[in-house]
Chains A and B, each alone.
Chain A
Amino acid sequence: MTHASAAHGTHAHSAHDDTHGHPPTSTGLDNKKIAIWAFIGSECMLFASLISTYLIYKGRSVVGPYPHDACLPPACSTPLPAILDIPVTSASTFVLLMSSLAMVLALAAVEMKDQPKRTTGERILGSSKLWLWMTAILGATFLGFQAYEFTSFVHEGLTLKTNLFGSSFFTLTGFHGAHVTAGVLWLLSLLAIDYRRGLGPKDAINVDLAALYWHFVDVVWIVIFTLVYLIK
């Protein structure tokens, strides 16, 4: 791929750099890309602490509702089924996974923007606007699922203050949802740039930074889905 090095954040050490006033970094790598990976590393530790807190408090709630078990009196005033809705969350997980696919296709489209597109398929795959929109819409859909889930939980009597499960669950998934929201806003800002002047191969590094953040949010959800929703 012609522009892979731009998105991969590598510098070419040549006289060209000096004439344009861009001195090469000591590592030969783009500082922004090093920064995003360091940020993602720190985010790993943030989410590890949130997931640990959830797991430690799991099963220690004195009153219901509970995630995987029905809640019967006297723990609950009225009998309540297990509160987690696996089919709905499975659908939202699928949506987030597909948003990652759309994101890599958006990055590939930006990298290949200058290459001629002969067929309709190539034009579709090469449309950065289409894939950025797709990613943002899928991200917003995931947030819609989360809003539905949170609302239904509150209607069933589970709030941040109800029990240990409620506190740790809303904190963990709320933090993740906030990250998805930030990602959607980032994607919308890229779309605004794309409509204003067009995103080309020279912008690949900036789209790659957003993509890395987006995929990180996706892998965090992969872990949350298994540990919180599927494992009792």
Chain B
Amino acid sequence: MAHDPAHEPHSTVDHAAMGIAKEHPTWSTYWKVAVILTVITAVEVWIFYIPSFKASRLFVPSLLIMSAVKFVTVVLFYMHLRYDHKLFRVLFTGPLIIAAFTMIGLMFLFGKLSIGVGAPN
């Protein structure tokens, strides 16, 4: 049966027993997160236009790290996973880990990634 939160006596919610934090992001937190996301995106695009950095070995790892930071920031603060019940974390991170390993596995299978195993010639 559908649950109607209108009937919830909020004062009786035992957050500790539910396994969730009582803390909740404020408006200023949301704005700060938006600024951080914008700055990281600007840096990503900026380094894309630096030929020497684009040609270096740091380019791809730094882009992947910045992308991962943005991803995690949105999930933790905007999707409230930092403050929510751990079951929601499991429901998200479980399939995400499977998806990540599937991607990595496919990259190896189709030769996009490789490990230097065997005698070099």
Contact A44 B34 (CB under 8 A): no
Question: CA separation between A225 and B91, bound complex, in Å?
Answer: 25
* A-chain residues with CB within 8 Å of residue B31 when the two chains form the complex: 101
From A9, A202, A222, residue with most partner B Cβ within 10 Å = A222
Looking at chain A, what size class is its interface with the partner chain?
35 or more
Total A-B pairs in contact (CB under 8 Å)? 189
B window 62-121: CB within 8 A of A: 63-64, 66-67, 70-71, 74-75, 78-80, 83-85, 87-88, 91-92, 94-96, 98-100, 102-103, 106-107, 110, 112
Contact A222 B67 (CB under 8 A): yes
Contact B102 A48 (CB under 8 A): yes
Determine chain A's interface SS by DSSP, over half rule.
helix
Question: CA separation between A47 and B30, bound complex, in Å?
Answer: 26
Contact B98 A12 (CB under 8 A): no
Contact A205 B112 (CB under 8 A): no
- A residues near B (Cβ < 8 Å) are 1-12, 14, 16-17, 20-23, 25, 27-34, 37-38, 40-42, 44-45, 47-49, 51-52, 55-56, 58, 86-87, 90, 93-94, 97-98, 100-101, 103-105, 108, 125, 201-202, 204-205, 211-212, 215-216, 218-219, 222-223, 225-227, 230-232
